[in-house]
A and B are shown apart, each in its own frame.
Chain A
Amino acid sequence: MVEEKRVVKTTLGARLTHWSHTICWFTLLFTGLVMFSGWFEWLKPVFGGANGANFLHRLFAVIFGAVPLFGLLYKPESFFGWMKEAARWGSNEIKFMMMFPFDLIGLKVNMPPQDRVNAGQKFNSFFFPTVCFFIGVSGVIMWFAESFPLWLVSIAYPVHDLCWILGTMQLMFHAYLGSLHPGSGESFWAMFGDGTVRASWAKHHHTNWYNETYGEDE
């Protein structure tokens, strides 16, 4: 069988940031749950008790914040390019979002052509960084509570909780849609591999981007 042509969809930097973020998110989630509710008492020994969980929560919080900040300073055009990409909304995006629920349950729909990131991913591109931003800010306030006014500290707790809950909620969708949802396998393995996808898959799922980048002549 002839090897099919492959195109690059995600850069090495994007993949590294994505997976460091994933590891941090889950570590922070589970160490945080120890603090969030007595329901997760059984998790305490995993992290070496509540103190161990607190320590790991802070350690991974630093990595969680430092990696994107480093990326932002080292290669600002990468972040802003992504944001610009995600900010491009037209009728195709709105149509995609309206038809998406049908696609999700498995009905046959003809999705309008999408850019490199589809409308749902564009929404996620804003949603997640926003959630992370507020988690980070409220986390710093709680960590250094003595340095902040009390009213701000008391707001930080609900904000932190609200944001990780919304973030994890979105994460459930993101994890499923990016792996086991029909047709997602290609980008899933791209994220674990060299960032390339089959050209035919790219053309099917991200038509606009494929045509703009690799030409219509293919």
Chain B
Amino acid sequence: MAKTKGYLVDTTKCIGCRGCVVACKQWNQLPAEQTRFKGTYQTVPDLTGNTLTIISFHEYEEEGQIQWYFAKRQCMHCLDPACLKVCPQKAISITDTGAVVRDNDKCVGCQYCAAACPFHIPRYNRETDKETKCSLCTERTAEGELPACVKACITGALQYGDRDELLALAKKRVSDIIGKYPKANVYGETQAGGTNILYVLADEPSKYGFEENPKVGTVIHAWQDIIKPYFPWLIALTGAVSVFSFFSTRFLGVGKEAHEGESLDG
């Protein structure tokens, strides 16, 4: 496989400052969200059509102490993206660095990518009638700049680079912290066929609100591989049968007499 680039999220280094969230908003020129306090420090409750990344806060009481787990959420930039496969307009593509990007002009806002995504990332923007998601700052990285979120990270929790190198780094980090965090693991190496965004998690993925083993649903496959390519031909088939019948009935000449009925007025 070609070398792809992504970034590593080391959750053990994340302090939940959300500088990355603000940087993302700023670079992409997205408006702020109006939210209400709901008893959590997490600012925006979920990704929206105007919020491409958030830090989700997960609080647990462990050994009499409150433990915070911070998870950065955004497009995972899958190596084999389901959104790309289902998009009826081929509006989603992979750049030569492996970023999964959308073509805003091609997007018709059908939102099928949102339903297909194993990580439930793409969000619908009502105002633009388009789906949105993180582009891994392709326009920045193409110019040799870091993605906005990575550049803003003050603790070094975010690191941009080649996926192979980041993966090695992540594994080394896990072996370093395994003494303190016995359940530490790398997330994104194999999940959903591998992702360009990798995580070092200190505990089970579920504690961060991640699915242990995210999968593309079987109905999605059924739609993509069976219904979409073959079923529309049924329409053509019935159309063809109708045309055939139009000519055959006239050719065989059963004609009007057999169909119109005898006059009752005789």
Task: Decide: A170 near B238, CB < 8 A? Known: A38-B89, A200-B261.
Answer: yes
Q: Are A105 and B248 in contact (CB under 8 A)?
A: yes
Q: Are B255 and A182 in contact (CB under 8 A)?
A: yes
| A111 smallest CB distance to B (angstroms) | 10
From A2, A150, A180, give the contact of B115 (CB < 8 A).
Answer: A150
Binds B, one of A13-21, A79-87, A155-163, A188-196: A155-163
Task: Decide: A53 near B217, CB < 8 A? Known: A168-B235, A182-B249.
Answer: no
Q: Is B152 part of the binding interface, using a Cβ–Cβ cutoff of 8 Å?
A: no
Q: Are B265 and A5 in contact (CB under 8 A)?
A: yes
Chain B 246-260 near chain A by CB (<8 Å), digits 1 or 0: 101111111110111
Chain A residues within 8 Å of B111, by CB: 142, 145
Given contacts A50-B107, A201-B261, 7 further A-B contacts (CB under 8 A): A36-B88, A104-B249, A106-B249, A107-B252, A158-B227, A176-B243, A182-B255
Chain A residues within 8 Å of B120, by CB: 150
Chain B 173-200 near chain A by CB (<8 Å), digits 1 or 0: 0000000000000000000000000000
Q: Are A154 and B219 in contact (CB under 8 A)?
A: yes
B218-266: which residues lie under 8 A (CB-CB) from chain A?
A: 219-220, 222-223, 227-228, 231-232, 234-235, 237-239, 241-246, 248-256, 258-265
Q: Is B129 part of the binding interface, using a Cβ–Cβ cutoff of 8 Å?
A: yes
CA distance A65 to B72 in the complex (A): 42
23 pairs, A vs B, C-beta closer than 8 Å: A37-B88, A38-B89, A38-B90, A38-B106, A41-B89, A50-B107, A105-B244, A108-B258, A154-B217, A157-B112, A165-B232, A166-B234, A173-B238, A175-B242, A176-B243, A176-B245, A176-B246, A182-B258, A183-B256, A200-B264, A200-B265, A202-B261, A218-B264
